[in-house]
Amino acid sequence: MNTRKATAPRVKPAPVARGASRSAKPRLNMRAWREHHAYSFFSSLARIGARPWATALTVLVMGLALALPLLLFLLLQNVQGLSAGWQEAREITVFLKPEIEATAATQFAESLRVRSDVAIVKIRTPDEGLAEFRSQSGFSDALKVLQANPLPTVLVVTARENPRENINATPALVEQLKSDAKVDLVQYDAAWRQRLGAILALGERVVQVLAGLLALGTLLVVGNTVRLDIQSRAAEIGTLQLLGASKGFVRRPFLYIGLWYGLLSGFVALLLVLAVQLALGDALAHLLSSYDNRFAFSALGWIPASLVLVVSAALGWFGAWLVASRHLAQGQPA
Amino acid sequence: MIRFDQVTKRYDSGYEALHDLSFEIEAGEMVFVTGHSGAGKSTLLKLLALIERPTRGSVALAGQNLNQTRRRGIPRVRRGIGMVFQDHRLLMDRSVFENVAMPLLIAGLPREETAKRVRAALDKVGLLEREKAAPITLSGGEQQRVGIARAIVAKPPLLIADEPTGNLDPKLSTEIMELFAEFQQVGATVLVATHDLHLIRRMGKRVLVLDHGRLIDDFRPPVVGA
């Protein structure tokens, strides 16, 4: 059917018609495809550039929608970093009975140090404890009233990392310390750690769900914008169809528009995240310095950032594709 | 080139625009279709451009039965037809050059060749110096000439025009018709729907007369005033 059509102008000697039939040959399709994409690329840029305010509004809405899960992700990432730091510490605080003397405490510490499952043992004498308490608690005036130092000697025991052991399980060391006659109280917050882990897992899920919902929202924003654009260009689309434009040719500029919206909103989202990082930077640095800078704030890296752009561009393209395919299928030239 | 075989077109509203219409147009002919308003002139052209489908009968173009053309094949058929509309249907947000270049862009021609052909077409309609203008700044006659340049730029074997001189004064109308006649002289088939009997008589080409969707006359008037 097609070959007959293509050769027809040559059979009927219309010399002027040769060029038109030549362009339909498949060997030119690749170049035609490139020309079409170049056209769509520039004409779509011109279209969104012609309405800077409408474009900016759309892009800002989409950018905000993308920035929200991104910020939550960043928050979660940092809290996870902190909690990992805490879990690595694996510190066991051992309060000795008040009647244990300093030499006995030192002996007990030595006996612990030789154990294979103990990494470090730090002794905090009652005097050190009192000094620390004075400087940090703000009770220094109240403490002056005390006649004697009520604080016991405290051993801070760091358990040695045992890879075969479940990180959330209570080490056997804790139980043995608890049963020792010299020990008054052992503090090891396993339950608290487990709870934090559960909260973080929940947070991760919340970020995932939220990201999914907001991605859907972004898709709808792009779709609606492109739908309005298609409606306002109904006459033009009809004309193009009468000139012999294929469905793909008519649809392509709209897909590019979706792509630009997505890409620009990705940039907006990254800028917003950067702005939030800058705004919170000082306060965060202050907070972290109180942890002796054991933890560093981890910003959004290059790879996640470029991934955001790829995903947002894909969302824009897909949203435009959904709407354009549907509306142009219905469209009949007037 | 064109063959209508017992074509009937009834619209969904029940209105019968064409009734049992049969005629044939040879390649390289220039033919006018005339008749009162509502006689079916536009419907006839719409069947050729596959904007409408016949209810009964068949339309063949360049040996191809258009009834067999599927939806996907419609753009290819239309690329072989240059269309001129009464309301020009120019893309108002683009320049004259871009409007004329559109069929070549759709065909995927390289940019340099496109530019060459667009300038040739604009030169033919006498608007070469207006290629950067916006269509809205042109007069009605100039806009129609841009429309014609767009219709001929891809050098289609068939040119169809629906009331191309509907809004123009007699002098401009004659100029437009001369352009169509020139295009016929280089080998294209030209089909023009118009109710301007005066103009038709002067051109001395074959005329199909429609009345209430029926072909009532098919004649070639003697050239007058030539």
- Residues facing A108 on adjacent strands: none
Stretch A69-77: mean pLDDT, rounded? 86
pLDDT at residue A83, as a whole number: 67
Q: How many percent of chain B have pLDDT more than 90?
A: 73
Considering only CB atoms, B105 lies closest to which of A35, A241, A333, namely: A35
Considering only CB atoms, B186 lies closest to which of A16, A36, A243, namely: A16
Nearest to A261 by CA among A300, A293, A220, A289: A220
pLDDT in tens, A37-67: 988 898 888 888 888 998 999 999 999 999 9
Confidence of residue A10 (pLDDT cuts 50, 70, 90): very low
Contact A14 B189 (CB under 8 A): yes
Cβ contacts of B83 on chain A, cutoff 8 Å: 242-243
Considering only CB atoms, B27 lies closest to which of A12, A249, A333, namely: A12
Query: DSSP 3-state assignment of A118?
Result: strand
Stretch B116-131: mean pLDDT, rounded? 94
Contact A29 B108 (CB under 8 A): yes
Please tell me the total number of residues recorded for chain B in this structure: 226
pLDDT at residue A13, as a whole number: 36
Contact A20 B154 (CB under 8 A): yes
Nearest to A47 by CA among A313, A330, A310, A258: A258
Place of tokens 């130092």: A149
Considering only CB atoms, B155 lies closest to which of A17, A24, A245, namely: A17
Cβ contacts of A249 on chain B, cutoff 8 Å: 75, 106
pLDDT at residue A119, as a whole number: 80
Is pLDDT at B33 greater than 90 in this prediction?
yes
Cα separation, A138 vs A60, in Å, equals 48
B37 at A interface, C-beta within 8 A: no
Confidence of residue A151 (pLDDT cuts 50, 70, 90): confident
pLDDT at residue A292, as a whole number: 63
Q: Which two tokens stand for residue B70?
A: 């599927």
Min CA distance, A256 vs chain B (Å)?
Answer: 17
Where does chain A show beta strands of DSSP type E? 91-96, 118-124, 154-159, 183-187
Cβ contacts of B64 on chain A, cutoff 8 Å: 1, 4-5, 8
| Range B12-25 burial, b when 16+ CB lie within 10 A, else e | eeeebbbbebebeb
0.80 exceeded by pTM: no
pLDDT at residue A185, as a whole number: 85
Stretch A195-202: mean pLDDT, rounded? 83
Min CA distance, A37 vs chain B (Å)?
Answer: 10
Q: Higher confidence at residue A218 or residue A79?
A: A218
**Among A residues 223-262, those touching chain B with beta carbons less than 8 Å apart:** 235-236, 238-247, 249
- Asked whether B108 and A29 are in contact (CB, 8 A), the reply is yes
Please list the helix, strand and coil fractions of chain A in percent, rounded to the nearest 5, in that order.
Answer: 70, 5, 20
> Which of the 8 DSSP states describes residue B163?
S
Cβ contacts of B105 on chain A, cutoff 8 Å: 35-36, 39
- Asked whether B9 and B206 are in contact (CB, 8 A), the reply is no
Is pLDDT at A291 greater than 80 in this prediction?
no
Min CA distance, A218 vs chain B (Å)?
Answer: 29
Place of tokens 């891809």: B154
Query: DSSP 3-state assignment of B67?
Result: helix
Rounded to 5°, the CA angle A293-A296-A300 comes to 165
Single-letter amino acid, residue B225: G
A24 at B interface, C-beta within 8 A: yes
Min CA distance, B10 vs chain A (Å)?
Answer: 17
Cα separation, A92 vs B128, in Å, equals 89
Q: Under 8 Å CB-to-CB from B212, ≥6 apart: which residues?
A: B19, B38, B39, B40
A84: Cα within 13 Å, side-chain hemisphere: 8
Is pLDDT at A167 greater than 60 in this prediction?
no
Report the Cα B145 to chain-centroid distance in Å: 13
Backbone torsion region of residue B126, taken as left when φ is above 0, otherwise alpha when ψ lies between -120 and 50, otherwise beta: left
pLDDT at residue A6, as a whole number: 41
Contact B91 A239 (CB under 8 A): yes
A36 at B interface, C-beta within 8 A: yes
Cα separation, A59 vs A320, in Å, equals 14
Contact A243 B64 (CB under 8 A): no
Contact A28 B108 (CB under 8 A): yes
pLDDT in tens, B125-168: 999 999 999 999 999 889 999 999 999 999 999 999 999 988 78
pLDDT at residue B165, as a whole number: 86
Mean pLDDT of chain B: 91
Stretch B86-97: mean pLDDT, rounded? 92
Contact B155 A240 (CB under 8 A): no
Cβ contacts of A239 on chain B, cutoff 8 Å: 89-91
Considering only CB atoms, A36 lies closest to which of B51, B80, B108, namely: B108
Chain B residue with the nearest C-alpha to that of A35:
B108
pLDDT at residue A60, as a whole number: 94
Contact A31 B93 (CB under 8 A): no
Contact B73 A242 (CB under 8 A): no
From the number of C-beta atoms within 10 Å of its C-beta (0-12, 13-18, 19+), residue B151 rates as buried
B110 at A interface, C-beta within 8 A: yes
Is pLDDT at A310 greater than 90 in this prediction?
yes
Chain B interface mutation, best of A1, A4, A10, A12, highest count of B Cβ atoms under 10 Å: A12
In which element (H, E) is residue B7 found? Answer: strand B2-10
Query: DSSP 3-state assignment of B194?
Result: coil
pLDDT at residue A266, as a whole number: 95
Place of tokens 């800058």: A278
In which element (H, E) is residue A179 found? Answer: helix A172-179
**Among B residues 118-147, those touching chain A with beta carbons less than 8 Å apart:** none
Is pLDDT at A135 greater than 60 in this prediction?
yes
pLDDT at residue A4, as a whole number: 42
Confidence of residue A333 (pLDDT cuts 50, 70, 90): very low
Chain A residue with the nearest C-alpha to that of B68:
A1
Q: Under 8 Å CB-to-CB from B130, ≥6 apart: which residues?
A: B96, B122, B138, B142
- Residues facing B208 on adjacent strands: B33, B218
Structural domains of chain A ordered from first start? 32-84+195-330 (no CATH), 91-160 (3.30.70.3040)
- Asked whether A307 and A299 are in contact (CB, 8 A), the reply is no
A200: Cα within 13 Å, side-chain hemisphere: 17
Q: Higher confidence at residue A196 or residue B171?
A: B171
Chain B interface mutation, best of A34, A42, A243, highest count of B Cβ atoms under 10 Å: A243
pLDDT at residue A252, as a whole number: 93
In which element (H, E) is residue A202 found? Answer: helix A190-232
Confidence of residue B224 (pLDDT cuts 50, 70, 90): low
Is pLDDT at A313 greater than 80 in this prediction?
yes
A329 at B interface, C-beta within 8 A: no
Q: Which of A39-48, A292-301, A325-334, B94-103 has the lowest mean pLDDT?
A: A325-334
pLDDT at residue A293, as a whole number: 60
Cα separation, B146 vs B125, in Å, equals 7
Contact A14 B75 (CB under 8 A): no
Q: State in Å, rounded, how far the first CA of chain B is from the last one.
A: 28
Query: DSSP 3-state assignment of B160?
Result: strand
Confidence of residue B205 (pLDDT cuts 50, 70, 90): very high
Confidence of residue A161 (pLDDT cuts 50, 70, 90): low
Contact A241 B69 (CB under 8 A): no
